[in-house]
Structure formats: structure tokens, C-alpha cells
Amino acid sequence: MREYLKFYIDGQWVDPVEPRTADIENPATEQVAGHISIGSAADVDIAVKAARRAFATYSVTTVEERLELLNAILAEAQKRAGELAETVTEEMGAPAGLASGPQTGLLFGHLTTAIESLKSFPFVEHRGNTTIVKEPIGVCGLITPWNWPLNQIAVKVFPALATGCTSVLKPSEVAPFSAQLFAEILHTAGVPAGVFNLIQGDGPGVGVALASHPDIDMVSFTGSTRAGIEVARNAAPTVKRVAQELGGKSPNIVLDDDAFAQSVSTGVVTMFGNSGQTCSAPSRMLVPAERMEEAKEIAAAAAAGVKIGDPNSGATVGPVVSGTQYEKIQALIQKGIDEGATVVAGGTGRPDGLETGYYVKPTVFADVTNDMTIAREEIFGPVLTVLGYDDLDDAVEIANDTDYGLAGYVSGKDIDTARAVASRIRAGWVAINHAFDFGSAFGGYKQSGNGREWSDIGFHEYLETKSILGYGTD
């Protein structure tokens, strides 16, 4: 049983101002796995003041000093990689292979990328007699979700540290354990007091206080579009910068070529990764209408090959994160059935033999039209919708007919066609054949948010630009 009842503020583990706790459930067992304290606006105020004090000195550290700190964090995190993976499995049900692989691997990937980016980042640029300086924006409020807990912490905290900012982190109260270990790692690595602070809590109690606090200079939020709107609304009176990575309903355009079978199969398996709980998941597969029946057979076979079960059993798909999430997904699966989509695999209810735990049948709907609820709303579970298109112009039109624009995918053998199609998708992150790169920029168009994370590009969200005219170059 994990008992995380203290917050990390100003370099110390401290009690909350007002004692209040929450049970944290293991979604695979439906049993309480531990407890956390739930913070308040009073805790946020204390942490923000600590971060403001620390900013005075941390903001003027050298690149070399910050590189030394990030490398110390990397060394300490490597020692505790196994613990981090076990914690992610316990708090949000990630299968052991996923937890020790991508769930923790993304943290290390973003950290090493931040280190390499910092070595050559242009904080100063000379333009004739004017000097352009990139300076740390200040104290940052960081609000992260439960689905990729370490990844989302990494893409916010490491750029903040690299650029000279101080921060207050509020991780998701649904999967909060890994954030506690993360704070322990930073403390042991020697992060100066007040530079990084952690407060556990919920959105109304801590998230609102961070977004609205007058001494927070920037808030970075990852979560639902609905919650992101509230963050922006709460931040508006103090005119702080708001960076948001929100929802998605990402298209995967499968080309009509010799790689069709492989493209469909890979799209199915990719969609089911992390139990479908990925904002950039390829949740709308677009296939040539004349090959819909073929796609159904391939998708059904791919879904049948997915092993779902206990996270420590060798399964590749575990439970979804909570009972609330389970019920939402079930309702949307039923909605798809009611609206006339064809169930190719899965459906409502738990998989056979899994009566305990929030397990959802890996589900594929075909013959979906883009006006159906399951094609419009983010389901955030292992549910794939397959839509038909007449030609590539039609495919691009369907792909872009969405309120979202976080990600897009193009799958096929013809790279020239794939490049042409990818360039027409209105999304911030488009992958050809599911390519991946830590050096890319991640973020969305439209209601999927604003700003970008990952790599050196993510540094800019944490920097202000100052022009010093008449500075000279001597």
C-alpha cells in the first residue's frame, strides 16, 4: 500500500495545509493501491512563492550548470527505472512490457533529447546592431494527465529546467504515484530548493489555483479539450501564457497499394496500444471504399491476435484506467451499434474471463460514416472506427472534417503519395507509416490545442523574447 501524503515544496516533503486524502485504485484489481493527499489553493500559494524565490537565482544559471543538473537527473532516473515501470503498471494498468518499454522509455528519450538540445540552443542571436535574447518566462504551472504519466511530466519539466524556469507540477490524481517517484529522483539529483515543486490534487482544488494564480507566468496543460477551455478561462484575467495539448480524433489514411494488408493490421494494433488511451491514437482508419470488406477481415484477424489481460501476465493490452472511463467507453460502443456501424471485433462488456478489472474488449467498427458519434468524439479506449473513401481527395476531406487536429497518419508503400497526402492533413503531427522521432514537434491544430512540446522546439514555450536595440556585436 503506497502512502504519499506529503507534497514536495521548496526542496522538502511537507504536509498539506488542510489534511484531505484520496484513495487510488489499481484498475486491474479494482482494489485500493494507496493514498495521496489532495491539495488546495493554500498549498499552491506556498509552492508558487517558493518557485518565485528560486527563480531569482535559477534563471541566471549557465547552460553548463543546467546541463550538469539534467545529467544528474538522468543518472538517478536510470537507477530507478524498474521502480518507475512498476509504479505505472500499478497506477494506470499498463502491461509490464509497455510500462518498462514506452511508458518509461519516453521519459528517458525526452530527457536525453533535452540535454542534447540544450548544448547548442541559441539563447542569444545577433541581428546587426540588435541582439535577440531568449530568457526564461518565469514560474510555470504544469498540469499533466494519467494516460502517459511520465511522458507528459517529462515534456514539461525538462524544458522548464533546461531554459531556467521554475515550476509547480500537478499530476493527475487518477495516476499520481509515478509523479512522487519523479520528485524523489529530482530531489536526490540535487535540484535546488524551489526550482521544482509537486502538489497532488484535483482540477477544482489545485488546477484552477495554478491557472489563475497571479504569480504564475505560464501554464502548460495536457488533457481534454473541455478541461483545457477551463484552464484558458481561468488564466485569462492574469494574461499568462497558456500552452495546451488537448484531445484528438486522428485519421489514418491507408493507401490503396501492395502494403494494404500490413497497413490495416498495423493500424489496428497501434490503435489498441495503451488500451487506446492515447490522445494521438489513429482512431479513424480510412480505407478505399471498394476494399472495405477486405479491411474488415484483416482488422478482425489483427484484433483477435491482441492479448488482453492482467498487466503482469504478458498481456499487451491491460485495463482502462478507471470505472468512470470504462462506463464512458461502453456507452460509446453502444452508441456505435445503435447508429448502425458494423461490429467487426469486440463490442460491449468485458472480455471473457476478465470479470474483475476495467477491461474493454478491443473493438473495431466498420462501415462508419464521419457523422456518427464514434467518428466525432474522442473515445479514449481500445475502439477503432473504419471509414471508406472514394479517392484520395475524398480521404483528405474526411480526415480534416473534425474539430481536432492533433495527429494524422498515412500508411502505404508509395512514399511519394504518402508525402503528398501527409502535407494536406490539417494536424500538428503527421506520421508516415507510424514513424517516430524525439526530435519532432508535438502539438495540435484547432481544438487539439496550441503550442508545441518535444525537442528544442518545446523550449520556446518556456522562453520570452527580448530585443536589445543598439547592443552592438563587440
54-72 per-position pLDDT tens digit: 999 999 999 999 999 999 9
State the Cα–Cα distance between residues 68 and 73, nearest whole angstrom: 9
Residues of the chain with pLDDT under 70: 473-474
Q: Is residue 347 part of a domain?
A: yes
Residue 473's pLDDT is what? 66
Interhelix angle 63-79/149-163, nearest 10 degrees: 160
pLDDT value, residue 244: 97
Cα radius of gyration rounded to whole Å, the chain: 23
Domain range enclosing 266:
251-438
For residue 319, give Cα distances in angstroms to 265, 356, 363: 22, 10, 14
CATH number of residue 203's parent domain: 3.40.605.10
Based on the fold, state whether residues 321 and 452 are members of the same structural domain.
Answer: no
- What residues contact 54, with CB distance under 8 A and at least 6 apart? 10, 166, 192, 193, 194, 195
Q: What is the pLDDT of residue 472?
A: 84
Residues 66 and 213 in one domain: yes
Cβ burial, residue 138 (10 Å; 0-12/13-18/19+): buried
Count each helix (H run) and each strand (E run) in the chain, helices first: 15, 23
Residues 221 and 268 in one domain: no
Query: Quick one: 274 and 224 in the same domain?
Result: no
Residue 443 covered by a domain: no
In this structure, are residues 455 and 113 in contact, taking their beta carbons and an 8 Å threshold?
Answer: yes
Let me know if residue 90 belongs to a domain: yes
Statement to judge: residues 207 and 278 lie in one domain: no
Decide: residue 324, CB within 10 A, 0-12 exposed, 13-18 middle, 19+ buried: exposed
Asked if 238 and 333 sit in the same domain, the reply is no
The CATH number linked to 304 is: 3.40.309.10
pLDDT at 474: 61
Residues 260 and 181 in one domain: no
Number of independent structural domains in the chain? 2
**Alpha carbon distance 122, 77 (integer Å):** 27
- Residues with catalytic annotation? 245, 279
